[in-house]
Amino acid sequence: MKKFLSLLILLLIPVFFTSFFKAEENINNLYIHYFRYSGDYTNWTVWVWQSKPESMEGVSIPLSDDETAAAFNYGAKVAIIPLTDSFADATEVGFIVRRGDWVEKDVDTDRFASIVDSGDGNCHIYLVEGDPLIGTSIDDENGPSRTPKFKTGFFISENEIRFTATESVDPVDLKVYENDVLLSISATSMNTDNKGGVITIDKTLDYEKSYLIEVLFKSDNSTGSYAVTFDGVYDTDGFNNAFQYDKDDLGATVKDGKTTFKLWAPISSAVTLNIYSSGTPASFDGGTDAKLATHLMVKGDSDKGVFSLTLNEDLHGKYYTYDVTNGTKTNKDIVDPYAKSVGINGLRGLIVDFSKTNPSGFQDIELPDNMTNNVDAIIYELHVRDLSIHESWNGSSINRGRYLGLIEENTKYQGVTTGFDHIKELGVTHVQLLPFFDYGNAIDESKQDDSEYNSFNWGYMPLNFNSLEGNYSANPYDGLVRINEFKQVVKAYADAGIRINMDVVYNHTGQSADSNFHLIVPGYYHRLTSSGAFSNGSGTGNETASERSMVRKFIVDSVLFYATEYKLGGFRFDLMALHDIKTMEEIAAKLHEIDDTIMVYGEPWTGGTSTLPVSNQASKSNINKIDGVGAFNDSLRDGVKGSVFDQAGPGFVQGNYSPLNAVKYGITGGITHQDNTGFVAWHQDPNKTINYVTCHDNNTLYDKLYLSLEATEQDLSLIPLLSKQANAYVLLAQGVSFLHAGDEFLRSKPLDDGFDHNSYQSPDSVNQIRWNLKVENKEVNDYYKGLIAFRKAHPSLRMADAQNINDNLRFVYRDTRGFIAYSITNDSSNDPIKTILVLHNSNTSDIKVTLPSGNWNVYVNGTTAGNDIIETVSNEIIIPAHTSYVLGNVDTKVNHSLFPAKATVLDNNNNPNLGLILGLSIGIPVLLGAAVATFFIIKNKKKNALEAK
């Protein structure tokens, strides 16, 4: 599960000590004794969390000198976790030994220890560097050994093996075995400390065989051995030529009464297929571990590393796993990465004939005809559970928080629509759902109906990428139910003219060394550092190696599966900069072969330092080179309402006018514009520019406005006005519009002592959409609805070409501080309004605008928005403080040169310079304070606080 921001944890360790752990009676402390061969413990800590009876958040525990009695002292370092009365329920803890803020893990799997008295009123466990075993005493025969050993050993070419050991070795003592046959070593190049080097063997690597290195450690005359891995040759032409598999038939396929299984496992010596009648193991009530059958898979000579088997049975509805043997180790009951559905908690794959999963009419639906270009999209970001979990949703209890809750109709609260009817009424074109593929290791689906269990999670820790999440299904034990239910969702939205976009997380896996990918082909699917550790560019423990051909193939195959089988309208890529450029280009190209209006966009940043070269990342610096792929515009986001790195820091709408050019950049759709030469464009295409001010990450718009107004001692009653204006900047801009669900009626994520900016697994009490807020803030909601209707009705707001934007959109009244105004003419758009004039007054004072001659219809003012004419004005108009207006001249295309260079800031308080004074009084202190305040917030991705260890 994702973990809290480590800086915050360091500040709060004493609090956590009294809140998160409680062991058996009379057990005072948990001592985790840890031994490193080199004696280097700098920056190494232990991340610990309560795992039973209920999993809870983790804390970082420092290592200190071990001063325990001799009977318990490992002679190294120890982490001490007090087990006070506040931790009464802790019977087991999970832990990870890590370096720095998740720079490296010692052992890449989560480990667990029961709280048991070691005889002195405390619980002691023992760990050794690089050893997954856990000792319960110093001399535990089943625990880790402190004897010398190999740390790594892997091929770096087809005849060279790089190795490291815990102590210096004599090269003459090194041996290499191929399937137990001793090989001849032609050369050995040792490091200066003799603790590692490169061994050159006299023959070429055979990928079908296993290799072992061996040496005599002279410090204790013990013989150490290590199964050599293939990490260093996965990127070679030899490996790719031998194992690049191009067919689209991996996984389990049912056809013509037969079922075929295919698994890519190029370095494995054996694969066994296990078939079950149930997706529920015996560890769950009603489950079983009895197998219907087991079959040995066959690897063909020309099958590029694919094990396959065809059975003369239609096994639709049965479950399966694989036992995979690599070297001397067999990993059992591994779920096929290509499994298209799973049973409870994603522990067994499901065999599916998708022709049997469709609800009535599903095959006949097509993507709604609601867009020609990406700029026509208005995306509404939503979490499945949030929409219907609050009591004010007023739908049926069986659908609350589930897939079918997304489409239940006729739900109301005090006369206003809720849920699905609200979304239809709002007028958006796309609903983007937070990840809904299986993240079974983050939520226990068997506790779905347990009112005491927190079933909420954003879903950014993927387990089975090609399966839907079971926690949103009426029956998470049956993997077929969720398929049918979600297809009902897609059909209902399609019938309503709305497309479904999928938030996808292919940049990392929810598990690392124990992930299905790693257990099948160790080291292939993830990027590793030079030390052999998992690279952590995601901030969640690992990152996938999309640049490798079979990783790229998996991602492309998976996206195409969702696009075709579930008829999705687009894909939002989490931490997209962790994907290489070629992968994103191939995804877009393949999807656009299906339908050129399928959207592909993502976050153009990473969650940490990646080993993928910056020049090859699908990032802000490269997005303009990637055809058909868009990116979120954090320039507009932070410019409008303040940086996400500073919760209290204001943006343009709160009176900090320094990011003027960033706001104008979003307004012009992310292009190089003649009136905004002070900003370096990085999108360069309005179809690539996703304009937004809030999303699921960071504070909601209401919470951000509250915090920033409070910090600058402004009136909190301004929040409704500022909320409307913040998203008026989005909805009246060129580019793609993106809204966070609930912002339209001032959604908040409250805590007892503030607001939750990182609610990835906070309870429903934080995350739920409260429909009573729609009643309380109906005028704000109606304003958003009106802006959406106006945008959809006017193609001048949706120009798809950078040149047209430059030709037809010009900024006017440009010399007015805190005031952004622009005119749009309709030369290329055939808009019914010949000249649209957008006026954003973010001053604390009213502004008088002198208009060019002619009649101007007002469609949007401070209280009302839509396609109806509110009033018609000429000569001049007063724009109140903190409001946005839209005027239209239906008769004349007005040249921008006819607009005055400056509007008049009115003296609302008998001070002609009031706006300037207040702007400076707010902006300068805030800008100075922002540098200090940034530690309160994490990087662009809040989920970098580690959902998985």
The tens digit of pLDDT for each residue in 203-224 reads 999 887 889 999 999 999 999 9
What's the confidence (pLDDT) of residue 301? 72
User: Do residues 196 and 214 make contact, with C-beta atoms less than 8 angstroms apart?
Assistant: no
- Cβ atoms < 10 Å from Cβ of 202: 11
User: Do residues 395 and 403 make contact, with C-beta atoms less than 8 angstroms apart?
Assistant: no
Mean pLDDT of the 597-622 span: 97
- Best CA proximity match to 636, nearest among 670, 612, 611: 670
Among the residue ranges 294-308, 350-364, 738-752, the one predicted with the least confidence is: 294-308
> Which pTM was predicted?
0.90
Structure tokens that stand for 534 in this block: 């998992």
Pairing assessment for the beta strands 123-128 and 29-35 based on DSSP bridges: parallel
Exposed / middle / buried, residue 752 (Cβ in 10 Å: 0-12, 13-18, 19+): exposed
What's the confidence (pLDDT) of residue 946? 35
Mean pLDDT of the 791-814 span: 97
What's the confidence (pLDDT) of residue 932? 37
Distance CA 214, CA 175 (A): 5
Point out the residues that are catalytic: 574, 603
What's the confidence (pLDDT) of residue 947? 37
- Give one DSSP letter per residue of 512-547, joined into a string: STTSHHHHHSTTTSB-B-TTSPBP-TTSSS--B-TT
What's the confidence (pLDDT) of residue 922? 44
Q: Kindly state the percentage of the chain with pLDDT values over 90.
A: 86
Among the residue ranges 101-115, 629-643, 844-858, the one predicted with the least confidence is: 101-115
The tens digit of pLDDT for each residue in 294-312 reads 999 999 877 899 999 999 9
What's the confidence (pLDDT) of residue 552? 98
- Best CA proximity match to 251, nearest among 338, 149, 363, 321: 338
The residue type of 199 is I
The residue type of 240 is N
What's the confidence (pLDDT) of residue 751? 96
The tens digit of pLDDT for each residue in 238-291 reads 899 999 999 999 999 999 999 999 999 999 999 999 999 999 999 999 999 999
The tens digit of pLDDT for each residue in 661-692 reads 999 999 999 999 999 998 999 999 999 999 99
The two most distant CA atoms of the chain are separated, in Å, by 98
User: Do residues 706 and 719 make contact, with C-beta atoms less than 8 angstroms apart?
Assistant: yes
What's the confidence (pLDDT) of residue 913? 40
Give the DSSP H/E element, type plus range, for residue 840.
Answer: strand 835-841
Mean pLDDT of the 695-707 span: 98
The residue type of 919 is G
The SS3 of residue 319 is: strand
What's the confidence (pLDDT) of residue 441? 78
Strand-by-strand arrangement of the 251-255 sheet: 251-255, 258-264, 306-311, 298-299
Average pLDDT, the chain: 92
Q: Residue 947 contacts by C-beta under 8 Å, 6 or more apart in sequence?
A: 1, 2, 3, 442, 457, 458, 460, 461, 510, 540, 760, 761
Q: How confident is the model at residue 530 (pLDDT cuts 50, 70, 90)?
A: confident
Q: Is the pLDDT of residue 10 over 60?
A: no
Exposed / middle / buried, residue 870 (Cβ in 10 Å: 0-12, 13-18, 19+): middle
The SS3 of residue 171 is: helix
What's the confidence (pLDDT) of residue 25? 57
- Best CA proximity match to 901, nearest among 852, 862, 853, 856: 852
Question: Over the range 54-76, which residues count as b (16 or more CB within 10 Å of their CB) and which as e?
Answer: ebbbbbbbebeebebeeebebeb
Q: Is the pLDDT of residue 928 over 70?
A: no
Mean pLDDT of the 171-176 span: 97
User: Do residues 812 and 899 make contact, with C-beta atoms less than 8 angstroms apart?
Assistant: yes
What's the confidence (pLDDT) of residue 72? 96
Q: Is the pLDDT of residue 444 over 60?
A: yes
